[in-house]
Amino acid sequence: MQMKDTLRLLLILAAGIFFRLYNLLFFHYMTADECVYTQAVFALTKGCVPYKDIFIAHPLLYFLIEYPFIYFSPSLLSARLVSILLSVGTMLLVFHTANNLYSRSTALLALAFFALSPYVLYYNKLAVVENAVLFFISLTLYFFFRYCKTSGEKNIFACGFFSGLAFLSKYSALLVVMVIVFFVALKGFKKLMTFIASALIMPSIFLILLVLFNVHQYWFIQTVIFQTIRFDFPVSIKLFEFGVFFALSLPLFAATTPILFVRKEREDIILILLYGIPFMFILLGKVLINHYFLMLAPILCIIAAKSFNQYINLKRTKVKMATLILLVFTIHFLLSSNIFLGSPSSESAVRAKMEIANYIKSITTDNDKIWTTEADIAFFAERLIVTPNSTIWKYQGFYEDVWGFIGTSYVGEFAGYSGGLITINEIQQALESEKPKVIVIMKSKITDILIWNGINTPKYRENGLKDYILTKYCLNFSLYDMDVYVIKTGKYNG
Residue of 29, 66, 473, 97 lying closest to 297 (CA atoms): 97
* Contact between 290 and 245 (Cβ < 8 Å): yes
**Residue 442, H or E segment:** strand 438-442
pLDDT of residue 459: 66
With 70 as the cut, is the pLDDT of residue 232 above it? Answer: no
Give the gyration radius of the chain's Cα atoms.
24
The pLDDT tens digits for 432-468 are 888 999 999 988 887 788 788 887 777 667 788 999 9
* Contact between 267 and 311 (Cβ < 8 Å): no
* Contact between 370 and 386 (Cβ < 8 Å): yes
Pairing status of strand 370-371 against strand 438-442: parallel
Boundaries of every domain in the chain: 3-341, 345-487
Pairwise CA distance, residues 365 & 383, whole Å: 8
With 90 as the cut, is the pLDDT of residue 143 above it? Answer: yes
Least reliable range by pLDDT among 229-243, 354-368, 418-432, 453-467: 418-432
Which of the four pLDDT bands, split at 50, 70 and 90, describes residue 402?
very low
Q: pTM here?
A: 0.89
Burial readout 44-81 (b: 16 or more C-beta within 10 A, e: otherwise) = bbeebebbbbbbbbbbbbbbebbbebbeeebbbebbbb
The pLDDT tens digits for 372-383 are 888 889 899 999
Pairwise CA distance, residues 439 & 435, whole Å: 10
In the sheet where 482-487 sits, what is the strand order? 370-371, 438-442, 482-487, 473-479
Pairwise CA distance, residues 83 & 21, whole Å: 10
* Contact between 50 and 74 (Cβ < 8 Å): no
* Contact between 173 and 212 (Cβ < 8 Å): no
Least reliable range by pLDDT among 168-182, 320-334, 432-446: 320-334
Query: What residue type is assigned to position 6 of the chain?
Result: T
Residue of 48, 26, 60, 73 lying closest to 397 (CA atoms): 48
Residue of 343, 367, 340, 375 lying closest to 445 (CA atoms): 375
* Contact between 117 and 16 (Cβ < 8 Å): no
**Residue 176, H or E segment:** helix 174-185
The pLDDT tens digits for 22-74 are 999 999 988 888 888 898 899 899 988 888 888 788 999 999 999 999 999 99
